Chains A and B, each alone.
Chain A
Amino acid sequence: GENVEQHPSTLSVQEGDSAVIKCTYSDSASNYFPWYKQELGKRPQLIIDIRSNVGEKKDQRIAVTLNKTAKHFSLHITETQPEDSAVYFCAASRSNSKLTFGKGITLSVRP
């Protein structure tokens, strides 16, 4: 089955700096890669996703890049703000079926 790895487990950045979070996946047939944000005490919510026929996608301050050859994808957050502090999960699936998540990374944005 699919295995999604996410490293490191924590990341701390200064407000205004950029943050990059990386994930790798094992199943070359996976074609859908979402990123979820989970604030403390709340449910995970989708912030951006990408399909395997696209190399990059951007939405305001966040972007996701995909390297199918290396089987890794990354979340980029620019001009970080304190409200970006949360746990971020990457995931992978084949054709919108079983969704496998990484272990999550805790992002802290220092004011």
Chain B
Amino acid sequence: DVKVTQSSRYLVKRTGEKVFLECVQDMDHENMFWYRQDPGLGLRLIYFSYDVKMKEKGDIPEGYSVSREKKERFSLILESASTNQTSMYLCASSLGPGRKGEAFFGQGTRLTVV
């Protein structure tokens, strides 16, 4: 069974902290994504990675960075957390170009920055 696992379901951090959100997939997928979900705004793409060490900015990359050192793991980093980064964060993965495009999502991490 396909599995995308995010390291935490709930996280509370202080303003200014450096925050790491981890995502692991066990499907040997090339593509991995980080989205942010806010009411009324849908799923907004933060960063996308199509291979190890390869990344592409999404629609809202400001204040975030990512790391993909291994194919199965994609990390989202909040360099200095701010209250406007309080949100639900969803990781997803899919096969690479030219192949079946279904994206599988993790269970989400609800981050609260206080």
Q: Which residues of A approach B to under 8 Å, CB–CB?
A: 1, 6, 9, 32, 34, 43-46, 49, 89, 93, 95-104
Contacts and interface: CB of A to CB of B under 8 A. Distances in A.
Contacts of A6: 42
B40 A98 contact: no
Contact of B98 (A34, A46, A49, A96): A96
B106 A32 contact: no
Contact of A99 (B40, B45, B96): B45
Nearest to B43: A101
A34 B31 contact: no
Task: Decide if the interface of chain A is mainly helix, strand, loop or mixed.
Answer: loop
Interface of B: 31, 33, 35, 40-45, 48, 50, 56, 58-59, 90, 92, 94-103, 105-108
B45 A103 contact: no
Instruction: Give 5 closest A-B pairs by Cβ, nearest first.
Output: A103-B42, A96-B101, A101-B43, A43-B105, A95-B97
Contacts of B98: 95-96
Contacts of A45: 105
Given A96-B95, A98-B48, A32 B101 contact: yes
